[in-house]
Amino acid sequence: MLSQPCCKDRSHDDVWDYDVWPKLEKEQREMEFHLVYQGRLPAAGQSNTRAREKHDIRKVLHRQLVSLWSTQPFLIEFRKQHPSDDLADRYKRCGYRFLPLVCDFFMVACSLDILFLRRDGPGSLVRSGGDIDNRIKVLFDALRMPQTCDEICGDSPAPDEDPFFCLLEDDKLITKVQVETNWLLTPPAPTEHIHEVCLIIRVKTVFAGSSKYEAAFQ
């Protein structure tokens, strides 16, 4: 949960601190990369959890994470030593085999630095599209594995979604979030909705100590 809500409309950084997990060791390895999402990001409410939108975002990010696992040197080497199917089998649920990068089993946490670009200008932070706090919470749910089968909206994995790559096992593994909001200045497409956003998400992972996965294969 957010330790302090932040709904200020400004172009400086808004910082939300989480309880730090795990405690960082002196010897740690870090990896940094960017995920990009452009499309609808509505706020969730009691009457609509936005499960459909969350899973659609999850699918967009899956394709980027496939590329990351195929190009990042550390992950390439990891997959050579330990087949990813072993971990994906551990995270089977609802007809999918998920493969989270940031997970308890790996002993990995992460921080997020989000550039939140939107077409509605200052003063419309709450009126148009929902407040930033609730829209970011929708994003967090899309970054993690679904917790219940209702969150996949009856979908089955496509041939290129086995395993299904996602960033987080659980959003408790986010240690810090920083959000900067500003205008999206690219010309809108004819069918584009005013509530569509462009998110550039810088992810920084932290590996602390020996993972349970490494220990299992020693």
Query: Prior bond to 163 cis, omega within 30?
Result: yes
Summarised one tens digit per residue, pLDDT across range 129-160 is 557 888 999 999 999 999 999 999 999 999 99
Our CA dihedral for 70, 139, 52, 57, rounded to 10 degrees, sits at: -30
Query: Do the domain assignments include residue 161?
Result: yes
Query: Do the domain assignments include residue 7?
Result: no
Q: Quick one: DSSP state of residue 192?
A: -
User: Total structural domains in the chain?
Assistant: 1
pLDDT confidence of 209, banded at 50, 70, 90? low
Query: Do the domain assignments include residue 152?
Result: yes
Mapping DSSP to helix (H, G, I), strand (E, B) and coil, where does residue 19 land?
Answer: coil
Query: Do the domain assignments include residue 8?
Result: no
In this predicted structure, the answer to whether residue 215 has a pLDDT above a threshold of 70 is: no
pTM for the model stands at 0.80
In this predicted structure, the answer to whether residue 25 has a pLDDT above a threshold of 80 is: no
Query: Do the domain assignments include residue 61?
Result: yes
Query: Do the domain assignments include residue 64?
Result: yes
Whole-number pLDDT of residue 211: 52
Query: Do the domain assignments include residue 83?
Result: yes
pLDDT confidence of 212, banded at 50, 70, 90? low
What is the percent of the chain with per-residue pLDDT over 70, rounded to a whole number?
A: 76
Domain range enclosing 161: 13-216
Contact 169, 91 (CB under 8 A): yes
The residue with greater pLDDT, 212 or 58, is: 58
The residue with greater pLDDT, 208 or 139, is: 139
Please compute the mean of the pLDDT values over residues 34-48 and round it to a whole number: 91
Q: Report how far residue 179's alpha carbon sits from residue 6's, in angstroms, rounded to the nearest whole number.
A: 10
Query: Do the domain assignments include residue 73?
Result: yes
User: What long-range pairs does 1-6 form, CB within 8 A, spacing at least 24?
Assistant: 2/133, 2/137, 5/133, 6/132, 6/133, 6/179
Q: Looking up tokens 């550390």, which residue turns up?
A: 74
